[in-house]
Amino acid sequence: MTGTDLMALMPLWIAAGASILIMLSISIRRSYGFVASLSLLASAAAFVSVFWVAHLAPLRITSLLVIDKFALFFMGLFFASCFFVFLLSHSYFGALPENREDFFILVFLASLGAGVLASSHHFVSFFLGLEILSISLYTLISYTRNRRESVESGIKYLVLASVSAAFLLFGIALIYAESGTMDFAAMAAKLAEGGIRTPLLFLGFSLLIVGLGFKLAVVPFHIWTPDVYQGAPAPVTAFVSTVSKGGMFTFLFRFFMIVDMTRYPSLILIFSVISAASMLAGNLLALTQNNVKRILAYSSISHLGYLLVAFLAGGRSGIEAASFYLVAYFITTIAAFGVITVLSTADSDADRIEDYRGMFWRRPWMAAVFTVALLSLAGIPVTAGFIGKFYVAAAGIKSSSWFLVLVLIISSTIGLYYYLRIIVAMYSQPETERKSDLAVSFSSRRSLMAGIALAVLILLLVWFGVHPSGLIRVIKTTVGAPNGLAVISVLRGGGS
């Protein structure tokens, strides 16, 4: 590796270095305020470093990683998300009696894993990034160990994530046995010669899709999602639903573009079925829920189905649509779980619909923030969520995926109902006997940093919903640029 290679990895170095520095500081003296401030500075530095190294892209670093604008764009998105999660979680974890600082170490390690996934060009680097991410999530999900449901969620995620990792490893082994390589470009060249026709390759890709399906929580591999979302601390749930899934999705997009999925109708059919099932099942199952975090869990399943429409569209339009949708989804989801975080107590999260009944009359600002976030998730105009869904639908139409576009429209209409249930509860009159309890609960978790973070997130949601051209321009000149696609074509052919 050269000095240029090391410099290109600067965002990942900062994430790894921050986790080590926090561990060293904790070993000397535990100071939650110092660690929280250091984490905010480190996440901001990692985000800024993405722009600093952008002029070096595209750059192939050994056979494992490629630092191109596609990877850097999503690394920036991941570290920006970490910054907002840190802001929102400051008062939440500050109320814990012990081991509060370890949260920041785990988030940095998980972000490092997601960054490695976004830049992976080899199955070895992919699996290393996946395990760095997953092992951190095991602990994060069960971080509030005084809560029974949190520990239960951590165990469930540990078991199912381990099973999915086994599927991935077995699938990778079978693909390697047949192709003789773990490098994506070399593998694409081998597949171009014979296609996915041998039993080993067919079984290997099947197991790979199963493992990826578990990690992305798409139907029919979604069973863990509502339980984990409900039991995990609210800031952790925000992280899992954004950075964790975003890292996996960027890998999915890169790998299947390099191997040129359009050559294999069977793969397109499988992903089309998964996409349609996720959109419909996610929205229909959410209708029966009374827990806000479980509603958002099923909602996330449907949103991954929407993203798969852009993934199947492929090409420039698919990359642009998926990138814009991920940005809108990240902002919206973090804002929604940010409200839950602020309104939660040290003993439990505010996750029942009844907890939000009459919130407008107690905390109108929080009610307004949550309303905008829910409307964006529903895809209502004047929000970034609407532009994202429009962009995805346009990409689907351009690729003639008419069935998936129809399912997207129908399922989005269904999803509007359960978002409105929460909104109606917030603006309804609270029960007289509960007014004092609500007032105490909602006033006990106020945080200046969380309020600033929510204000910025909502402004971004509305700004990208009214003036999306700026973000679209950034996406077109980075991940969706013609030269960006050319880089993927070069890598597919084995170039550097």
| Amino acid present at 390 | F
Q: Which helix (H) or strand (E) segment is 446 a member of? A: none
User: Quick check: 481 pLDDT over 60?
Assistant: no
Cis before residue 58, ω within 30 degrees of 0? yes
Look at residue 444 in the predicted model and tell me its pLDDT.
Answer: 41
| Amino acid present at 442 | F
Q: Alpha helix locations (H) across 195-264?
A: 199-216, 225-231, 234-239, 245-258
User: Quick check: 486 pLDDT over 50?
Assistant: no
Look at residue 44 in the predicted model and tell me its pLDDT.
Answer: 94
Look at residue 128 in the predicted model and tell me its pLDDT.
Answer: 92
Q: How many CA atoms lie within 13 A of 345 on its CB side?
A: 11
Look at residue 431 in the predicted model and tell me its pLDDT.
Answer: 65
Confidence of residue 31 (pLDDT cuts 50, 70, 90): confident
Look at residue 263 in the predicted model and tell me its pLDDT.
Answer: 80
Look at residue 50 in the predicted model and tell me its pLDDT.
Answer: 92
**CA 193 to chain centroid:** 35
Look at residue 485 in the predicted model and tell me its pLDDT.
Answer: 46
Phi, psi of 30 (to 5 degrees): -80, 125
Helix, strand or coil, per DSSP, at residue 99:
coil
* More reliable by pLDDT, 35 or 348: 35
Look at residue 195 in the predicted model and tell me its pLDDT.
Answer: 61
Q: Is 402 exposed, middle or buried (0-12, 13-18, 19+ CB in 10 A)?
A: exposed
User: Quick check: 436 pLDDT over 50?
Assistant: no
What gap in Å lies between CA 383 and CA 377, rounded to an integer? 9
User: Quick check: 354 pLDDT over 90?
Assistant: no
pLDDT digits (tens, 9 = 90+) for 49-108: 999 988 887 888 888 888 888 889 999 999 999 999 999 888 888 777 667 788 899 999
Domain ranges within the chain, ordered by starting residue? 3-492
Longest dimension (CA), the chain: 72
Look at residue 358 in the predicted model and tell me its pLDDT.
Answer: 85
User: Quick check: 296 pLDDT over 50?
Assistant: yes
Tokens of 473: 């321009």
pLDDT digits (tens, 9 = 90+) for 313-331: 878 888 889 999 999 999 9
Please check whether residue 344 is in contact with residue 413, taking contact to mean a CB–CB distance below 8 angstroms: no
What gap in Å lies between CA 496 and CA 493, rounded to an integer? 9
Please check whether residue 278 is in contact with residue 301, taking contact to mean a CB–CB distance below 8 angstroms: yes
User: Quick check: 38 pLDDT over 70?
Assistant: yes
Average pLDDT (238-256) is 90
Helix, strand or coil, per DSSP, at residue 6:
helix
pLDDT digits (tens, 9 = 90+) for 142-162: 888 888 888 888 888 898 888
Q: How many CA atoms lie within 13 A of 425 on its CB side?
A: 18
Look at residue 484 in the predicted model and tell me its pLDDT.
Answer: 43
Please check whether residue 229 is in contact with residue 296, taking contact to mean a CB–CB distance below 8 angstroms: yes
Look at residue 407 in the predicted model and tell me its pLDDT.
Answer: 93
Q: How many CA atoms lie within 13 A of 460 on its CB side?
A: 20
User: Quick check: 491 pLDDT over 60?
Assistant: no
Please check whether residue 133 is in contact with residue 113, taking contact to mean a CB–CB distance below 8 angstroms: yes
User: Quick check: 434 pLDDT over 60?
Assistant: no
What gap in Å lies between CA 418 and CA 174, rounded to an integer? 43
pLDDT digits (tens, 9 = 90+) for 260-289: 877 888 888 999 999 999 999 999 999 988
pLDDT digits (tens, 9 = 90+) for 439-462: 334 434 447 788 889 999 999 999
Please check whether residue 30 is in contact with residue 61, taking contact to mean a CB–CB distance below 8 angstroms: no
Look at residue 495 in the predicted model and tell me its pLDDT.
Answer: 42
Look at residue 461 in the predicted model and tell me its pLDDT.
Answer: 92
User: Quick check: 190 pLDDT over 90?
Assistant: no
Instruction: Tell me what the pLDDT averaged over the chain comes to.
Output: 85
Confidence of residue 166 (pLDDT cuts 50, 70, 90): very high
Average pLDDT (407-432) is 87
Name the most confidently modeled range: 40-49, 100-109, 201-210. 40-49
Average pLDDT (333-355) is 84
Tokens of 344: 């939660």
What gap in Å lies between CA 479 and CA 238, rounded to an integer? 24
Look at residue 483 in the predicted model and tell me its pLDDT.
Answer: 39
**CA 469 to chain centroid:** 23
Nearest by Cα to 15 from 115, 131, 135, 84: 115
List CB contacts of 374: < 8 A, sequence separation 6 or more. Answer: 336, 419, 422, 423
